[in-house]
């Protein structure tokens, strides 16, 4: 068996994400497909030097989903997940989430050919994600809107 270069005891790595939302006749949440596992996830990424967490999350939203809008400066909370790395090892991550009210959807964006973006009713978005903490955060977001 190949020994993982990562320890299960290693501290989780921090990432920043947006919870993209809009109100039509109902509250909707946008999710994007992950590149490797093609699961439904929030747009997220690693900290960027010189950018505050909410600005980093907003930049990831533009790169991964082609969306722009008003990003909250205060986090909604966080969730954890296991990220599979290119070498096959697993890195535990803690993701801090910021609400993003979507105002614009671009037709072209950097990762358009690598991901799909889709609007979901809140309950459907919660059901589409694998992480239980994220599912709870999505459902809680609806009750606070």
In tens, the pLDDT along 18-45 reads 999 999 999 999 999 998 778 999 999 9
Q: Is 56 helix (H, G, I), strand (E, B) or coil?
A: helix
Q: What is the DSSP letter of 128?
A: H
Q: What is the DSSP letter of 135?
A: H
**CATH number assigned to the domain covering 21-143:** 3.90.79.10
Count CB neighbours of 49 within 10 A: 5
Show the DSSP H helices in the chain as ranges. 53-65, 122-128, 132-143
Looking at the DSSP bridge assignments, the partners of residue 106 are none
Q: pTM for this one?
A: 0.89
Confidence band (pLDDT; 50, 70, 90) for 9? low
Per residue in 56-87, pLDDT tens? 999 999 999 999 999 999 999 999 999 888 88
Count CB neighbours of 57 within 10 A: 29
pLDDT at site 131? 93
């Amino acid at each position: 068996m190949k020994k993982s270069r990562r320890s299960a005891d290693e501290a989780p790595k921090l990432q920043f994400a947006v919870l993209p939302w809009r109100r039509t006749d109902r509250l909707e949440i946008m999710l994007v497909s992950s590149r490797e596992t093609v699961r439904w996830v929030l747009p997220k990424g690693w900290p960027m030097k010189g950018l505050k967490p909410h600005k980093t999350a907003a930049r990831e939203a533009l790169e991964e989903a082609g969306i722009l809008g008003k990003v909250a400066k205060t986090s909604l909370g966080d969730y954890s997940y296991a990220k599979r790395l290119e070498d096959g090892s697993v890195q535990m991550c803690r993701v801090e989430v910021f609400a993003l009210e979507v105002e614009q959807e671009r037709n072209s964006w950097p990762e358009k050919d690598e991901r799909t973006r889709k609007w979901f009713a809140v309950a459907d978005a919660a059901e589409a994600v694998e992480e239980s903490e994220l599912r709870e955060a999505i459902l809680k977001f609806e009750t606070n809107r």
